[in-house]
Amino acid sequence: MTTVNPHPTPPSVPHGTRALGEPPFLAPGDQIDWHYRKPGWLRGEPSTITPMRVVRDDERGLVAWLAPGTEQEGQGAADGQRVRSVPLERRWLEPRRRIVEEWVGNGILRIAPAGKPWSVWLFWSGVRGDDWTLAEWYVNLENAHLRTDRETFTSDHVLDVEIGRDGQIVMEDEDELVAAVEQGRLDADQAAEIEAHAAAAIASFTAGDWPFDPEWIAWRPDSAWTVPVLDGLEDLRVP
């Protein structure tokens, strides 16, 4: 198997972090806060922080559930709108601010395999009781996670891979990767490495690796779980 660099962009993490797959581990139902920070992130700068419920946390990596209605800290444009509202030609040039945003839609199961520069997200459609239809696997290319006991940290790498339930593969946000290089968010060597990681993730899907195991398609959240709450959100709300 091709060796991949787990951190094609410099990690922006607190002191004392460890890799996924290293104990101590959290129990199912525990809260873990999933952070996305830009390379070179400084304290107080915007990031995305999503509170989630642990499904599985062990030597293979982290599996966590993003429940419908979850409120997270997000990265907003200067006017408070979501970053994707900024035209692509200015998306990595415009200043950002910290905002509160709600996850709208069905929940997402996120699987971050230890040491891999991507996470696999399962999206479902037509959710009615226990009758769920898998819509797609979404491979989010990112740094391999480094974590503390109750937080995990990574940096998003812009390019993504959509894999339909029929196995059809579509590259997503290739234009954004080009723009990220043009606007200085990434350099050309990093972009080339990220493109290679997309190919490695597709090979992982083809091999039927752990994050793509059918057990996750059949998985359902514990009905007793409440929607987790992220500390500090009240300070970000606009009066």
Amino acid identity for residue 182 in this structure: E
CA distance linking residue 177 with residue 175, whole number of Å: 5
Q: Of the given ranges (92-96, 211-215, 234-238), which has the lowest mean pLDDT?
A: 234-238
Q: What is the mean pLDDT of residues 89-109?
A: 94
The yes-or-no verdict on residue 1 having pLDDT over 60 is no
Q: Is the pTM of this model over 0.85?
A: yes
Residue 56 — very low, low, confident or very high, per pLDDT cuts 50/70/90? very high
The yes-or-no verdict on residue 179 having pLDDT over 60 is yes
The yes-or-no verdict on residue 175 having pLDDT over 60 is yes
Residue 84 — very low, low, confident or very high, per pLDDT cuts 50/70/90? confident
Q: Tokens in use for 74?
A: 């997000």
Q: Burial level of 59, CB count in 10 A (0-12/13-18/19+)?
A: exposed
Q: Of the given ranges (64-78, 119-133, 136-150), which has the lowest mean pLDDT?
A: 119-133
CA distances to 99, 212, 236 from 138, rounded to whole Å, are 25, 11, 29
